[in-house]
């Protein structure tokens, strides 16, 4: 249900599927094979531009998931 537990969705504010603690989305969909964070690793520790992308509503760092210098902390990502 929207707005319960850790969900910060608010239909009146047109805000859906984000967390209460940091406003990050519950799910993401990327257009390529995604190398996900290692177990128990926060996505921000694996992908340094992810939070900036979220906070900009997708206007900056649209390629936050790509393997560019400064974008990925490879010790926190499972490459498959």
Q: Give yes or no for a contact between 9 and 18, defined as CB atoms under 8 angstroms apart.
A: yes
**Mean pLDDT of all residues belonging to the chain:** 92
pLDDT of residue 4: 87
10 DSSP β-pair partners: 15
Examine the domain organization and report whether 35 and 72 are in the same domain.
yes
- Same domain as 49, residue 11: no
> Quick one: pLDDT band at residue 3, thresholds 50, 70, 90?
confident
- Is the pTM higher than 0.85? The answer reads no
Contact in structure between 24 and 65 (CB atoms under 8 Å): no
Per the structure, the count of domains in the chain is 2
55-75 tens-digit pLDDT: 998 999 999 999 999 999 999
For residue 37, what are the domain limits? 31-80
Dig out the tokens for 17 from the structure.
């599927």
Count CA atoms closer than 13 A to 22's CA, side-chain side.
Answer: 10
Q: What is the pLDDT of residue 77?
A: 97
Pairwise CA distance, residues 49 & 4, whole Å: 28
Q: How many residues does the chain have?
A: 80
Are residues 35 and 23 part of one domain? no
């Amino acid at each position: 249900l929207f707005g319960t537990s850790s969900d910060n969705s608010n239909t009146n504010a047109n805000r859906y599927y984000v967390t209460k603690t940091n406003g990050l989305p519950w799910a993401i969909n990327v257009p390529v094979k995604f190398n996900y964070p290692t177990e128990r690793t926060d996505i921000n520790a694996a992908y340094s531009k992810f939070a900036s992308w979220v906070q900009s509503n997708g206007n900056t760092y649209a390629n936050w998931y790509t393997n560019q210098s400064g974008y990925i902390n490879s010790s926190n990502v499972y490459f498959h």
